[in-house]
Amino acid sequence: MPARRPILLNAFAMNCVGHINHGLWTHPRDRSDEYRHLDHWTDLARTLEDGLFDALFLADIVGVYDIYGGSIDLAARESIQLPVNDPVLLLPAMAAVTRRLGFAVTVNTAIEHPYSFARRLSTLDHLTGGRVGWNIVTGYLDSAARAVGREAMAEHDSRYDRADDYLDFLYKLWEGSWEDGAVLRDKAARRFADPARIHEIRHEGPYYRGQGYHLAEPSPQRTPVLFQAGSSGRGQRFAARHAEGVFINARDPVAAARTARSLREAVVAAGRRPEDIRIFVGVSVVTGATDAEAQEKLADYVAHASPEAGMAHFSAGSGIDLAPLGLDDEIVTGPTNAIQSTTAAAQAARLTKRRLLGDLALGGRYPLIVGSGATVAAEMRRWRDEGEIDGFNLTRTVVPECWRDFVRFVVPALQERGLYKTAYGEGTLRRRLFGEGDRLPDRHAGAQAWRG
Amino acid sequence: MPARRPILLNAFAMNCVGHINHGLWTHPRDRSDEYRHLDHWTDLARTLEDGLFDALFLADIVGVYDIYGGSIDLAARESIQLPVNDPVLLLPAMAAVTRRLGFAVTVNTAIEHPYSFARRLSTLDHLTGGRVGWNIVTGYLDSAARAVGREAMAEHDSRYDRADDYLDFLYKLWEGSWEDGAVLRDKAARRFADPARIHEIRHEGPYYRGQGYHLAEPSPQRTPVLFQAGSSGRGQRFAARHAEGVFINARDPVAAARTARSLREAVVAAGRRPEDIRIFVGVSVVTGATDAEAQEKLADYVAHASPEAGMAHFSAGSGIDLAPLGLDDEIVTGPTNAIQSTTAAAQAARLTKRRLLGDLALGGRYPLIVGSGATVAAEMRRWRDEGEIDGFNLTRTVVPECWRDFVRFVVPALQERGLYKTAYGEGTLRRRLFGEGDRLPDRHAGAQAWRG
């Protein structure tokens, strides 16, 4: 068996109270409602860096979950990603108290024009010293479209066409506007930068156009590490061209391996190498000193969870109002603009509301790994090997103890088995994830796009 | 003579190398080119809090200064606000190392839709514990319009009409969507929030429309403290309706008093009280242990300044290319979409290029106050009393020594004379600036707009 790279680890969180495992905010020890305070996040960042996490992966949603029961009632009562604050603003404070922890932050391409967004991410890459990733999302909620004065969200595939165009504009700004030698910082010669090496870029795309100089000088990574989570056919094509990290959902390692192979084939078809993407599967871990302690903890958590809130979240993702369905009705749907992979998987599995509620015992539907550090480490190895993945996005349960438990019990067990690093590598997030340079490799579309 | 309130102080800076006093980046002790690093900003925040500054006022520009000589050549060589990074992202890191310092950050209303921008500022207000102000700008550079695919910037007055509409949308989200009692945080009853007290707002304005729930729960101030710098007729009307802090330019106290009176009259005409706005005048201070030392320091600074770069900055603000003019040509212009007050003042003063260069000895055109702490304090008192203003925006010269010098020499001199606070007050930025509540007063348009 070939030597495998160490398992990669992202913590998966969100600037809100209820993220994935719904209802756990009611647990007496849970402090996720302190999301409004900087200390909550700087403490988290320190904990994750103690555990040598590769990155904190921050989800986001613009819009509200108003499908279930046709209202926001349950979303408000159980704080199902409502309220939800801007995730981007957490990074500077967390970067200031850490040195190596990376950040992958979700931003919807529909929020602002690429010209100002390019500067926003370049600024983050500067301030973090090259530790920024961007999780590219295109949005799927009609409530978000109405909020900005449109009738409904654009059709699913066209959102990716628009995002392709958005990325092409960004690549020109990030990669093409300032040459590497443009900034001189020469006080004696009074030459801060050489104007001959700063280029106005022009973009005339189907959705975006403009011409201008990038406002930021080159940052350590130029283009941030690009993450994406699309699993539909169109989403996979988008990932094959752009993504360096892909976040997948899978019920078991067999399903993970199917998605991972399909993704790597698409990446190769796009002129890249199979190892040019790192694949992360989402899981929930509950751990303790022993298997028994972990099982007890799980039972305590489950007693505070809200499977109904999980169902409301599923309704938003699938576009199907599950409130009026009977427990044994199959969950079926016609064409929808919502998350394609969610609805396809539900139909393929002939999912009923009863089975869905069973899956949602902890309030979320991510595969659950429960046990001592040794048990969890063994199961993570199995996922990695059988699932053909590179790492995990770990959902939060009861905050912050879930992170501290993982660092205390699982990290040493992974390290003892040679499955996890024992110190951070040097350099930018991209360099540490791929072991090559700080910048996009030449074979990535973004490294070439601006020359076009 | 009535007791006067203590002088208010903002430090005026920008997330770039050359801000106002151009060329000083070449001074051997200047470290403004460390703007890319978080430490530079957290150190500044600590220094300002040591000096009891009310706020750090961060400028911004989206676009480049390409009027002078028809290119960005000088802007790149002297780093005239190019490169320029996003200012908003500095706040979370600076807030994490301070407790009372406020922040007034410039954001152009043209960057993003009010729905997502409302959340961005609410998030900042949460994370800073109610210490955020927003300096509202509408943009004036054609280079910015071209960057986002438009031919040229919108006509001057219509930019304010659009900004009025933008603010009305924001007020509905900030003030009207979540009632004060909406958030319960009741774990035992499983009720995070009461949906009956969260309202969908609708806006159908001439420029912006949409309907939705604000994504953020109410922050300490709800609406951030609103700053504005428009001095034109239309800009003053905008300020009269919205602004709580107004940043003015004036060559001397007489000119400041003229603007201050005109502003307060407009505020009263808008149904508010004259003391509902705080007026800040921009000045540059060079200080030292003695008057002689301060004068020596000034001479040293002047030797490193770039009056030509200051002229290029003036060209961008006025829309007039000064490069081809003769030294004694008067600076005249036809109608322009650029900064109205700049061009009007130049014409009224029959300004020539030679006189302008003389004004720009330190690289910027702000009134200069030079001397020991006692001398500067006396001059600041004169400005306050004769200029009928409330405080100052202090430009930076050689960074960071200009801030340290001010805190060391001027702050104690102001305090000894009873002109400045000796400790921070409690509460939010708004409460500390106005001595009333954390929220907009009922007489402010924003406190009522959402009910319409």
Q: For residue range A163-205, list pLDDT tens digits in order.
A: 999 999 999 999 999 999 999 999 999 999 999 999 999 999 9
Residue A142 phi, psi dihedral angles, 5° rounding: -60, -30
Which pLDDT does position B1 carry in this prediction? 39
List CB contacts (< 8 A) between B129 and chain A. 37
Among A16, A44, A89, most B C-beta atoms within 10 A, so best to mutate, is: A89
Based on its alpha-carbon atoms, the radius of gyration of chain A, rounded to whole angstroms, reads 22
The DSSP bridge partners found for residue A393 are A10, A282
Torsion of CA A414, A420, A424, A429, to 10 degrees: -130
- pLDDT band (50, 70, 90) for residue A15: very high
DSSP character at residue B450 = T
Report d(CA B164, CA B203) in Å as an integer: 13
Are A36 and B127 within 8 A, CB to CB?
yes
Rounded to whole angstroms, the Cα distance separating B333 from B241 reads: 30
Q: Are strands B278-288 and B368-372 parallel, antiparallel or unpaired?
A: parallel
B177: nearest CA partner in chain A: A83
**A198-253 residue pLDDT tens:** 999 999 999 999 999 999 999 999 999 999 997 778 889 999 999 999 999 999 99
Distance from A269 to chain B by nearest Cα, in Å? 33
From B86, B90, B178, residue closest to A120, measured CB to CB: B86
From B220, which residue of chain A is nearest by alpha-carbon distance?
A: A36
Question: Token digits for A386?
Answer: 């059988």
B225-228 and B201-204 beta bridge pairing: unpaired
3-state secondary structure at position A122: helix
Q: Rounded to an integer, what distance in angstroms lies between the CA atom of residue B246 and that of residue A139? A: 38
**Could you write out the three-class secondary structure of A384-429?**
HHHHCCCEEEEECCCCCHHHHHHHHHHHHHHHHCCCCCCCCCCCCH
Pick from B28, B72, B185: CB nearest A213: B72
Domain boundaries, chain B: 8-297+370-447
A93: which chain B residues are within 8 Å (Cβ-Cβ)?
Answer: 92-93, 95-96, 127
For the record, the structure tokens of B367 come out as 């009134």
pLDDT, one tens digit per residue, over A291-334 is 999 999 999 999 999 999 999 999 998 889 999 999 998 887 65
Of B72, B75, B148, the CB nearest to A210: B148
Cβ burial of B187 (10 Å; 0-12, 13-18, 19+) is: middle
How distant is the alpha carbon of residue B49 from its chain centre? 18
* Inter-chain residue contact B215 with A84, CB threshold 8 Å: yes
Q: Give B433→chain A minimum CA distance, Å.
A: 23
Separation between Cα atoms, residue A246 and residue A226, nearest integer Å: 9
Tell me the pLDDT tens digit for each residue of A370-395. Answer: 999 999 999 999 999 999 999 999 99
Chain B residues close to A89, C-beta within 8 Å: 88-89, 91-92, 120, 123-124, 127
Query: Residue A1: pLDDT above 60?
Result: no
**A402 Cβ partners below 8 Å, 6+ apart?**
A285, A286, A396
Domain A8-297+370-447 falls under CATH 3.20.20.30 = yes
CB contact under 8 A, A213 and B82: yes
Q: Which residues in chain A are contacts of B310 at CB distance < 8 A? A: none
Which candidate from A27, A129, A193 shows the least CB-CB separation from B79?
A193
Q: What CA–CA distance (Å, rounded) separates B375 from B382? A: 11
**Which runs of consecutive H residues, i.e. helices, occur in B102-232?**
114-127, 142-147, 156-171
Contact B385, B4 (CB under 8 A): yes
- The 10s digit of each residue's pLDDT in A125-157 is 999 999 999 999 998 788 888 988 887 777 777
Q: Do A71 and B28 touch (CB under 8 A)?
A: no
Q: Residue A38 and residue B92: Cβ atoms within 8 Å?
A: yes
pLDDT of amino acid B338? 67
Interface size between A and B, measured as CB pairs under 8 A: 231
Known binding positions of A for FMN? 60, 106, 156, 160, 231-232
In the predicted model, is pLDDT for residue A450 greater than 80?
no
Is A86 in Cβ contact with B147 (below 8 Å)? no
Residue of B nearest to A93 (CA): B93
Cβ-based burial of A190 (10 A; exposed 0-12, middle 13-18, buried ≥19): middle
Q: Which amino acid is at B71?
A: S
Residue among B25, B83, B111 minimizing CB distance to A217: B83
Which chain B residue has its CA at the smallest distance from A40's CA?
B127
Residue A114's nearest CA partner among A185, A169, A45 is A169
Asked if B115 and A148 come within 8 Å (Cβ–Cβ), the reply is yes
Question: Exposed, middle or buried: residue A147 (CB in 10 Å: 0-12, 13-18, 19+)?
Answer: buried
Q: How confident is the model over B56-95, as pLDDT tens digits? A: 999 999 999 999 999 999 999 999 999 999 999 999 999 9
Residues of B in Cβ contact (< 8 Å) with A27:
187
Q: Which chain A residue lies closest to B205 (C-alpha atoms)?
A: A149
Q: What is the ipTM of this complex?
A: 0.96
pLDDT 10s digits, A92-113: 999 999 999 999 999 999 889 9
Instruction: Kindly determine whether residue B84 and residue A215, on different chains, have CB atoms separated by under 8 Å.
Output: yes
B interface test, pick of A134, A213, A306 with most B CB neighbours within 10 Å? A213
A76 → closest Cβ in B38, B97, B195: B195
Q: Do B192 and A78 touch (CB under 8 A)?
A: yes
B355 Cβ partners below 8 Å, 6+ apart? B349
CB nearest to B96's CB, from A93, A146, A193? A93
Q: Do A119 and B86 touch (CB under 8 A)?
A: yes
CA distance B425 to B427: 7
A330-360 pLDDT tens trace = 887 655 666 666 666 667 678 899 999 999 9
Strand partners, B186: B191
Query: Is residue B277 within 8 Å of B244, Cβ to Cβ?
Result: yes
| Residues linked to residue A191 through DSSP beta bridges, in sequence order | A186
Which residue from A89, A143, A178 is facing B124, i.e. has the nearest CB? A89
Residue B226: strand pairing partners: B134
Chain A residue with minimum CA distance to B141: A212
Angle ∠(A405,A407,A411) on CA atoms, nearest 5: 120
A51 DSSP assignment? T
> What per-residue confidence (pLDDT) applies to B450?
63
**pLDDT tens digit sequence for A405-421:** 999 999 999 999 999 99
Best residue in A86, A103, A151 to probe B by mutation, most B CBs within 10 Å?
A86
Closest CA to B81 of A216, A73, A20: A216
pLDDT score at A452: 46
Cα distances (Å, whole numbers) of residue B120 to A35, A178, A440, B139, B213: 14, 29, 29, 19, 14
- In the predicted structure, residue A116 carries a pLDDT above the cut 80: yes
Residues in chain B predicted with pLDDT less than 70, given as ranges, are 1-3, 333-346, 348, 449-452
| Dist. CA B93–CA B74, nearest whole Å | 32
A269 band by pLDDT with thresholds 50, 70 and 90: very high
DSSP strand pairing (A278-288 vs A201-204): unpaired
pTM across the whole model: 0.96
